[in-house]
Structure 1
Amino acid sequence: MSTSAEVPKPKRFVFKAAYLARVHTILALSAFLSALAIGSALHYKKIVKNGVAGYPEEWFPSVSATIGDWYPERNIFQILIALNSGPRLALVLLQYYMHRKPSSNLPGIVMLSGVLRTLSCGGWVYITSTDDHDAHDVLMISYIVLNVPWMFGTIACTPVQNARVRRRRFFTSMVPMIYFFIQHKVHRIPGAYTRYSFFEWGLILFDVMFDSASELELEAANLEVPFIRCPLTVRPAAYIYWSILTSLTPTLFYFSVWELGIAGHELSLLSSISPFLLGISPFAKWCRTRSGRTTLYLLSLTGLAAYKLDQPLHRLFVVSFATADETTCLIFCEVAGLGFLLSSVAKHANHSNNPVWPIVHEQSGGYNKTGIILACIAILDYATRPSSSALASSSAEKPAPAVKTPGGSWLAGSISLGSLIFALHCLLEDSSTLIAWSWSGYPIKGPVPHLHGSITHVAQMVGLLLPLLLTSSSPAGLDALLHPLWFAYGSASAYVMYAYKDWLGYAGGANFAVFLMAIFPAVLHQAASAGHLARMFGVAWLLVSVFIVANVFTVAYAFVPGGEYFRERTHVVLAVQMAALALAFRWPGLRGNVRLSTPAMSKQARVAVGSTLAALSVISLLVSMYRWPSDVIKPHRVGPRIARTGIWTVHFGIDNEGRDSQRRMRDLIKDMELDVVGLLETDLHRTVFGNRDLTRVMAEELGFYVDIGPGPNQHTWGAVLLSKFPIISSTHHLLPSPDGELAPAIEAVLDMYGTNVTVVVAHNGQEETPLDRELQASELARIMSSSYPLPVIFLGYVVTRPLALRPAPYEVMVTDGRVHDIDDEDWDRWCEYIFYRGLYRTAYARVSRSTITDTELQIGQFLLPKHGFNVTDDSREARNMRSWKEDLPQDHWFPMEYYPELGGKRGHFYHVFDTVKFNSSGDQ
């Protein structure tokens, strides 16, 4: 008996395609009829009432009133319709599959109209006439118009021999549809809304009947959908691999930023060099078995479960252990690229946080339980695969042999692989990092971090497709991606990314993304084929750790020994990365060039990878479209011309418990109804902070214009301006810093009710560097005085005591900057200050931080003079006139629930004064 006869084959599960049509019909009818039944039972008189009359004149509800106005029928209906979207689109594609012909474009046109018809149906279903009458009508009309090419095209494509299907589709559907449409929109008679409602319901029911005819055609064609395990299904190591690896640094550097120096916890980075353990032969042999790999996958899940631990140190221990498990696993290169892209798309969809990171939980935007469940399912799928499965014997388990000339070095392959992994981690982990590198402020001349991240994902997809296409015709196709010309392309792209801003700089970054993703499979195959896997992967991850430390030292040099040698040398780190990558390329005349020969990928596998890449790109684009701002951004108090501002040092978006703090910040900013906010310590586009965008939640959910300030290649800890007033222009400054860390500043001109107001957000130097503070204060004073006498608001972190004399920053900034302290009687401040000029100050408050960060939120409220007028009395006596809040209109009051006598809210309360300081508004 042959060996092949003894190997069990993958089980095949067959699903009749006709069942999809039946499921579609049942779900559609259930959705509409259940809404009609429940609505009639619970809200009958409400849903039959319209703008003209009610019961008993009107006695039958319209579709819009039934599905769109009341709980619970609206919610049940929308759930069922959402479930029906899958079968609906599947039927459109199946019809195209049955009707397609090389000689005709009609099936393609019908498919397009069917997809658009489905989307427009979803539009008027979820946007009811109550929500937006115009949008509902436009989408309904679009749906009806698209019925014409859909129905006539479907009938024309239906084979002549399927007479029963053609009759059912035409005679019971098309004629009533036209008739009901004319009665519904053209021959509407005032007061006859009930009859109109029958027409509207008829439209729905006959549409469902028309589409139900596809069941007959699918049954006649005996079309079946086989479900088999795809040989390139993304393994549990793919997405989880990158999620755990990228979570290590933000979990670790929580301690570094609190200590402002080397805390000792940095040694946990070395958990990633666990591949050295593969040098132990029994262990390496066990890791290659299915049971061994399954065990490692299960152990790595502890990294996902770490979110349940309350103590940051405990989470770090568990994540370090999971990282050691993950880096021990050797992974299939195409799947590794897919997993990396998937992790980036997941971050894009979740406000720049990976939803399974341990630094997030349910309250901070995490989907940790969902991730654990899906990972367990994937591991179970891997563990129970038939041994003949292509995946069980893939090249991940048995690296493809490479033919190499004498002199090939595993060390060169290791160095190039380590450099590549760091480059991916540093630049492409989050889709908006490259945009942050190119950002230059307002007016906007380049991509926006919150909206254009999908372009980065498309570039990554193109990069991953290149090796797929090259290896489809030749096993040695990856060689083309190791040619010196391709390296020249990557080097030129990296230079443009670093040297230029706006769209040109981002174009360089996007091309660099194509380059990096394209060489990923080739570099990984070449490194694996060089032998000495334990040494090779161990050294690669050691180099990744070295790059991570060097990269952060370019900014953190004031707090680490030897940091001054890395100061502002991102270009050096980038150049070293490229030099290390160069070792993987096949330079003419050099010995040791490796000619790659990878196993030919099956057509099914290529389709699976290509489809996955396309799906991820579409998902990313849909997320961007969903998040695209639709509401008009406007300040909270337009009538009285009030501007409420705040300054907050937010400690890199990590709260005292080591969790992401975006949503907690959002809640306080929302409650305080701030119009302009300065945020400091905000540049998180670094590996140590997880490449996060701290503004994403607040900008999208509260509605702000955003200036993220100097980017990560400017070597600052970051400054952000959030504004509900239009930002006319902004300039980014790097303040003089000869001794210590670079201090960022944003100088922006805002249109506040027709008046141009300059707002400056800045982070001053530390107490250890008095020269820096003096020079920076002088530069900030110059910036503020340059616009005199126009209005100015300064929101910043300034290391000085109130009223301190020169050379301390206070007197320099107030006197030379020609501004006023918001409250020069507040002696308790140290770092955060609000200065102003040309405005009436009406209130000042200090809100305790709770456990969000290490500094309070300071708030200043200003009243703008009438348009065309200036402040009439700018004397200290006039500025410091005090009022009880009851003497001012309620528009000037701060939220009452934050008063300490009322207990505060979520751990926040007005402190220091035990109240809020109010001023009279001055002579208007």
Structure 2
Amino acid sequence: AFLVALVVACLTHYEKVVRNQYYGYPDEWFPSVSATTGDRYPARSIFQILIALTSGPRFAILALWYLHAVSKTRTPSMLAKVVLVVGLIRTVSCGVFVYITSTDDHDIHDIGMLVYIACTFPYMLGTIWYERRLAGTSVQQAVRWRQRICTAFIVSLAPLIYFFIQHKVHHVKGAYTKYAFVEWSLIFYDVAFDGCSSWCFRRLQLQVVDAGKAGEAALLGGTGTADSSYGQGKNIASYAAAAISCACSTLSNMENIYFFADTYLGFIFWSLLTAVPLAIWYFPLWHMGLSGDELFLFANVGAVVLAVPLARRLVNSHRGFVHLLTVLTLVAYKFPAPEHRLYLTAFGSFASCVAWFSSFSARTSDRNVYAWLLGLIASCVIKAMWRSNNPVWPIMHAENGGWNGSAAMAAGTTALSSSSRDASPTRKAGHAGTSSLDWLPSSFGFGSLLFALHTVFSDSTTPLRWSVDGYPSTGAQPVPWGALSIAAMCGGLLLAHRRLALTLLWFGAGVLSIIIFSATSGWFSFLGGLLFAVFLFSLAPNFALSLGTQPVGRSLAASLLTYNILMLAHVWTVAYEFVPGGPLLRERTGLVMAMMTAALAVGFAATRKYAHLRAYPSTVRHPQEQQAYDQRRQATRSIVRRTAIMLASLGAIVYLARIPLRAPQPHIPAEHRAFTAGIWTIHFGLDNDMWASEKRMHDAIDELGLDVIGLLESDLQRIITGNRDLTQSLAESLNMYADYGPAASKHTWGCTMLSKFPIVRSSHHLLPSPDGELACAIYATLDVHGSEVDVIVSHNGQEENLLDRRLQTTELARIIRTTSNPIVFLGYVVSKPFGEVYNILMGDGQLNDVDPTDWDRWCEYIGFRGVKRIGYARISHGGITDTEIQSAKFQLLDAPSNPAADRAAAIKHHTQNLAAGEGHRVPALQYPPQFRGTGVRGHRYHVFDEPRYF
């Protein structure tokens, strides 16, 4: 009731309910209990209705506690009666301050509140004092928790009074918000104290008996015959079966709620696991090599603490507390320093691994494993909603679309629900792992599985970007076909309990899917990826359950080391230029996939060998216990099926909603036959302070009016960059066509071209790179106002590799030289103007430099041929990256141009180039004025301090 009222009040009247008699938002930003529940409609009415619904159970708790207490003693104690009476007064006083709000009658409202608080002390202390005299493990567990809650309640009164005085007497800004937090904590302590009664009622049974039927049965039972005795036994058995069925039905309803909560915690696990390498990547990116922070990648290996019996027992009995530790690390977004966010995220990943991997050996391990895997699918759906970003990552905050705070609050609630449940007893490890190396196959298999899930299926667009081709046969596009990726994951999970999942034929089909996915491109690769998803998710629960039967310490150590080694190998295939031993895995993704498949095969064999571990032998169970277990297993399958269908449906809705409904429109009207182009190196969508930069990039590109832009370092479909699709995100938000450069499996850092004009055709090129990192290029033909214009976007090698840059630029010059269409070059060349590599590009490629007099360039260059240049600007990066935006405006020619004459004219004196000032251009052909002077958001015209016009 309180939480619903809080949410409704914040959604409907946030600034009104946080305002008090002295201050409002933003000085005060959290509402008090009274403001939430009594000040505004509809929160007040909803709260009062919910409180009315809960009043009956609250009175029932008092009555049941009294009956339970007196049943444990021979005569009713006066203390029990006093506690009952005080509890009744306390409950009635709750109704007083709930239904008579402070706006109705301030005095009566306050009296009701004071009576409630005054009764809370004797109620809590009397309950604890009385229960300490009672026997029973459950009762004593209730006493321990009641003591803790009562202590917290009493201790909280001091800050409550302090902050109230600060607000009421000293008028301190923000004091009432702090007072509100303490006030809300008292509410939760109060509810939790009554919730401890569940331990006391554990052995309590309530029976509703038809007295007439009971009397008739008593008369019949009084004959004392053997037949009646037998019939009585049958009735008892049937009653027992009915009781078990009823209990399981009730348990099933609660288990459904708990299952959704655990699925959300699974989402948090995958969010943190995928965030760690993403946060690490920021540091070597700026160091251009290993920074030492890479060691945090192994934070997950800390889960081997479960090998210590004491640690394992503590985690199993307080798993909710461990989840709560995980949740606390979600506040990393509050820390501006990137290293602090990395430390918190790594610790959160460690704690989450401990909590989840310990649950794989529990009696409810099948349920836990399915919730864990559905959490991964949920993360894919949520990333689809946020256009490939995860709203709880430490690179997100409110300014760029993060929902970190809301997600942390929801995760805290689910963690508390986990802590309210008894930990399931763990089953003993399989005998095979205790005296031999039989535990290794399961470990290798699970580590490889974790790697495959993270690498390929932690985002629904990764299987599509792995195989993308040029226009017009690009293959499947992320929107809407990403929905099929989610559906395939869900479908695989629903096959996991089938016998098919552990057959050799199915494994053979899975290996074939991996080969098709890795070795082909376009639609064939995507279809192979869908089959790979079905195959992998059908294996995942079996692999996890198999791991749960092994010695926990050594099996987790081997699994997580396998996962991390494969992950490093995957990174080494593209980052070989900057890491030790890089040439060994240079461009060898096929080898990494082969190692992954071999480890999956080993794990598959081990899982088949111990297939009996998927269920518990009925011979060791009491029949009623076996029945309860079978019903629980069926209930788990049912809720898994419903959740999977729900997620697949939600994924389809999200992707269908993302389909663009209108064609892109150029910024410059068609009658001018002009367009604006640009080039920008974007550092993988992480700004200089380690925040996701898509939103700021969108604002800069849109306000500059860029019709065509090349984005470099844009391939984010890797573990270290979060498996994000920045290209699709910007294409949708800017309403532009997109050409994603060489596929994610091609070992480049990526090129992307966004265009307001239709892409007629394009090809992706891997440029010669014998020494350094593999260079990429996109060669596209656009339909610009009815005329074909070619555009090349390229990212050449580093300064240290002169041979690479020569060969790469020579190949680019050859491509440029062969086209007869007008052409614009947007690239990263690494050369001084009129240097050797520059001359190869401009001379051999027969290109014109957009401004030969601009001597202060090194990386980015714009060239053209067959179009008329009308403007050129250099815009500062605004902290989004370390590289500026270069832009040029071009106009289509009515007649074919003379490349030699264009080139001679372009080298004329600087003042001649500037002869046409901005005033000679119509506004549609001018650069926007807001970037002059200090600019906006850190972006401004720099170097020349203004655009140049020609």
Q: TM-score, normalised by structure 1?
A: 0.70
Structure 1 residue 266: Cα displacement: 0.3
CA contact (8 A) 2:432 2:438 kept: no
Question: Does 2:481 match 1:449?
Answer: no
Does the C-alpha gap of structure 1 residues 869 and 824 become closer, same or farther in structure 2, counting only changes over 3 Å?
Answer: closer
Structure 2: segments with no counterpart, 5+ residues: 1-41, 47-248, 360-367, 617-629
Matched with 1:109 is none
Matched with 1:512 is 532
Does the C-alpha gap of structure 1 residues 353 and 421 become closer, same or farther in structure 2, counting only changes over 3 Å?
Answer: same
**Distance (whole Å) between structure 1 residues aligned to residue 773 and residue 308 of structure 2:** 45
Matched with 1:892 is 925
Structure 1 residue 587: Cα displacement: 8.2
Can you list the C-alpha shifts for 1:139-180, whole angstroms capped at 9, x where unaligned?
xxxxxxxxxxxxxxxxxxxxxxxxxxxxxxxxxxxxxxxxxx
* Pairing of 1:634-653 with structure 2 (within 5 A): 634-637=665-668, 638-653=670-685
Matched with 1:232 is 259
In terms of mean alpha carbon deviation, does 517-526 or 407-416 score higher? Answer: 407-416
From 408, 423, 426, give the equivalent of 2:455.
426
What SS does structure 2 have at the residue aligned with 1:377? helix
* Pairing of 1:260-271 with structure 2 (within 5 A): 260-271=288-299
Task: Give the aligned residue type for 2:505.
Answer: L
Task: Give identity over the alignment, percent.
Answer: 39
Can you list the C-alpha shifts for 1:77-101, whole angstroms capped at 9, x where unaligned?
xx99xx9xxxxxxxxxxxxxxxxxx
Matched with 1:374 is 410
Structure 1 residue 572: Cα displacement: 0.2
From 331, 348, 354, give the equivalent of 2:390.
354
CA contact (8 A) 1:554 1:567 kept: yes
Matched with 1:704 is 736
Matched with 1:597 is 614
**Distance (whole Å) between structure 1 residues aligned to residue 634 and residue 922 of structure 2:** 72
The structure whose residues are more often helix, as a share, is 2
**Distance (whole Å) between structure 1 residues aligned to residue 428 and residue 819 of structure 2:** 67
* Pairing of 1:477-496 with structure 2 (within 5 A): 477=499, 480-496=500-516
CA contact (8 A) 2:875 2:886 kept: yes
Task: Give the aligned residue type for 1:528.
Answer: G
Matched with 1:918 is 949
Structure 1 residue 538: Cα displacement: 2.1
What SS does structure 2 have at the residue aligned with 1:874? helix
Task: Give the aligned residue type for 1:350.
Answer: W
Whose radius of gyration is greater, 1 or 2?
2
In terms of mean alpha carbon deviation, does 844-853 or 296-305 score higher? Answer: 296-305
Task: Give the aligned residue type for 1:692.
Answer: R
Structure 1 residue 302: Cα displacement: 2.9
Can you list the C-alpha shifts for 1:243-269, whole angstroms capped at 9, x where unaligned?
111110101110011111111000011
CA contact (8 A) 1:234 1:339 kept: no
CA contact (8 A) 1:548 1:688 kept: no
Matched with 1:139 is none
Matched with 2:559 is 540
Structure 1 residue 423: Cα displacement: 0.4
Matched with 1:318 is 344
Question: Does 2:340 match 1:309?
Answer: no
Matched with 1:6 is none
Matched with 2:880 is 852
From 575, 580, 592, give the equivalent of 2:594.
575
RMSD, aligned CA = 2.3
**Distance (whole Å) between structure 1 residues aligned to residue 496 and residue 542 of structure 2:** 8
Matched with 1:474 is none
Does the C-alpha gap of structure 1 residues 713 and 595 become closer, same or farther in structure 2, counting only changes over 3 Å?
Answer: same
Does the C-alpha gap of structure 1 residues 248 and 365 become closer, same or farther in structure 2, counting only changes over 3 Å?
Answer: same
**Distance (whole Å) between structure 1 residues aligned to residue 610 and residue 420 of structure 2:** 40
Question: Does 2:864 match 1:839?
Answer: no
CA contact (8 A) 2:848 2:906 kept: no
**Distance (whole Å) between structure 2 residues aligned to residue 656 and residue 560 of structure 1:** 22
Does the C-alpha gap of structure 1 residues 879 and 739 become closer, same or farther in structure 2, counting only changes over 3 Å?
Answer: closer
**Distance (whole Å) between structure 2 residues aligned to residue 598 and residue 683 of structure 1:** 44
* Pairing of 1:84-123 with structure 2 (within 5 A): none
Does the C-alpha gap of structure 1 residues 718 and 875 become closer, same or farther in structure 2, counting only changes over 3 Å?
Answer: closer
Structure 1 residue 400: Cα displacement: 7.9
Structure 1 residue 702: Cα displacement: 1.3
Question: Does 2:765 match 1:739?
Answer: no
Structure 1 residue 229: Cα displacement: 4.3
CA contact (8 A) 2:377 2:486 kept: yes
**Distance (whole Å) between structure 1 residues aligned to residue 610 and residue 919 of structure 2:** 81
Structure 1 residue 897: Cα displacement: 1.2
Matched with 1:295 is 321
CA contact (8 A) 1:898 1:904 kept: yes
Structure 1 residue 593: Cα displacement: 5.6
Can you list the C-alpha shifts for 1:713-749, whole angstroms capped at 9, x where unaligned?
1000000000011000000000000001100100000
Matched with 1:780 is 812
From 487, 491, 497, give the equivalent of 2:517.
497
What SS does structure 2 have at the residue aligned with 1:583? helix
What SS does structure 1 have at the residue aligned with 2:505? helix
Task: Give the aligned residue type for 2:450.
Answer: I
**Distance (whole Å) between structure 2 residues aligned to residue 399 and residue 583 of structure 1:** 24
Structure 1 residue 875: Cα displacement: 5.1
Structure 1 residue 281: Cα displacement: 1.5
Structure 1: segments with no counterpart, 5+ residues: 1-78, 84-223, 471-476, 920-924
Does the C-alpha gap of structure 1 residues 792 and 400 become closer, same or farther in structure 2, counting only changes over 3 Å?
Answer: farther
Question: Does 2:677 match 1:619?
Answer: no
**Distance (whole Å) between structure 2 residues aligned to residue 878 and residue 311 of structure 1:** 46
CA contact (8 A) 2:848 2:903 kept: no
Structure 1 residue 328: Cα displacement: 1.1
Matched with 1:285 is 313
Task: Give the aligned residue type for 1:724.
Answer: K
**Distance (whole Å) between structure 2 residues aligned to residue 497 and residue 695 of structure 1:** 21
Task: Give the aligned residue type for 2:615.
Answer: T
**Distance (whole Å) between structure 1 residues aligned to residue 305 and residue 605 of structure 2:** 30
In terms of mean alpha carbon deviation, does 371-380 or 402-411 score higher? Answer: 402-411
* Pairing of 1:2-401 with structure 2 (within 5 A): 228-230=254-256, 232-235=259-262, 237-289=265-317, 292-329=318-355, 330=357, 331=359, 332-385=368-421, 387=422, 392-393=423-424, 398-399=426-427
**Distance (whole Å) between structure 2 residues aligned to residue 737 and residue 602 of structure 1:** 56
From 597, 601, 605, give the equivalent of 1:586.
605
Structure 1 residue 879: Cα displacement: 7.7
Task: Give the aligned residue type for 2:543.
Answer: V
Structure 1 residue 403: Cα displacement: 8.4
**Distance (whole Å) between structure 2 residues aligned to residue 728 and residue 784 of structure 1:** 17
